[in-house]
């Protein structure tokens, strides 16, 4: 069995060593692709472009210090659009307290809360009782984790990002090793991804999904670009196993 991705060299790997698999259904091979999360969505228009292209997770930033932050009203509309197309909405929180996270999550009809920063991550035990969680780990330029999880129970997702999320900067994929964690869905890779490197990144690390923000932005760095969205999705969805 070999892995191909838009010209990336074939990789001979066993099925158990990879993050997505083929399943047999009445004798036919069904291809399973990595999950795509598109983050930093700032408008219903951009959310619609992303979900129509094939994104399964739509992230919006509820941290006011980000250039891509959205208001509660904007976030609720983005959630509505995402959910109307069968995608799930993700609210990104950075060092917020429990009351703020719960209030905003409820106001915006979020499906999932994503926890950045020590203060927000410290609330994972309480929040995970009634909320689905993406728990963020950060890696330095050399691929070494800056923060390590000490969680004995199962979360929905882990996400590995560069030291400064949303910067468009990645880290050394070849040196990175994902720690052993308990996760219902696996882990997402973020940090400097775009259409031209997502196949290489996936080949190196085999995440269960990928997360992109800056790599699908228009020149203003805020709005999303339809061509970049479609190119990114096309490359991700081209990653198949050939039996």
Among the listed residues 95, 109, 140, 156, the single catalytic one is 156
Nearest to 82 by CA among 133, 48, 40: 48
Q: Active-site residue 39, yes or no? A: yes
Q: How far are the Cα atoms of 21, 72, 120, 139, 199 from residue 16, in angstroms, in the given order?
A: 8, 42, 34, 25, 19
Q: How far are the Cα atoms of 17, 118, 184 from residue 14, in angstroms, in the given order?
A: 5, 37, 22
With beta carbons less than 8 A apart as the criterion, state whether 157 and 187 touch.
yes
Among the listed residues 39, 108, 199, 217, the single catalytic one is 39
Which 8-state DSSP code applies to residue 192? Answer: S
| CB count in 10 Å sphere of residue 199 | 19
Q: Which residues are catalytic?
A: 39, 156
């Amino acid at each position: 069995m070999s892995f191909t991705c838009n010209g990336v060299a074939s990789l001979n790997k066993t099925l158990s060593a990879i993050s997505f698999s083929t399943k047999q259904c009445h004798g036919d091979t069904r291809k399973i692709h990595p999950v795509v999360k598109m983050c930093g969505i700032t408008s219903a228009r951009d959310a619609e472009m992303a979900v129509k292209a094939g994104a399964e997770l739509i992230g919006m930033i509820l941290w006011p210090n980000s250039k891509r932050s959205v208001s509660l009203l904007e976030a609720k509309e983005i959630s509505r659009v995402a959910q109307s197309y069968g995608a799930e909405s993700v609210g990104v929180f950075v060092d917020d307290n429990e009351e703020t996270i719960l209030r905003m999550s409820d106001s915006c009809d979020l499906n999932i809360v994503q926890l950045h920063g020590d203060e927000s991550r410290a609330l994972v035990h309480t929040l995970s009782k009634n909320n689905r969680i993406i728990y963020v780990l950060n890696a330095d330029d050399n691929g070494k984790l800056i923060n390590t999880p000490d969680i004995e129970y199962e979360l929905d997702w882990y996400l590995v990002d560069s030291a400064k999320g949303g910067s468009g900067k990645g880290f050394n994929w070849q040196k990175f090793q994902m720690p052993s964690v308990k996760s219902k869905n696996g882990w997402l890779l973020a940090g400097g991804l775009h259409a031209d490197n997502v196949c290489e990144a996936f080949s190196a690390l085999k995440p269960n999904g990928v997360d992109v923000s800056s790599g699908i932005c228009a020149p203003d760095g805020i709005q999303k670009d339809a061509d970049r969205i479609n190119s990114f999705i096309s490359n991700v969805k081209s990653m198949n196993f050939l039996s």
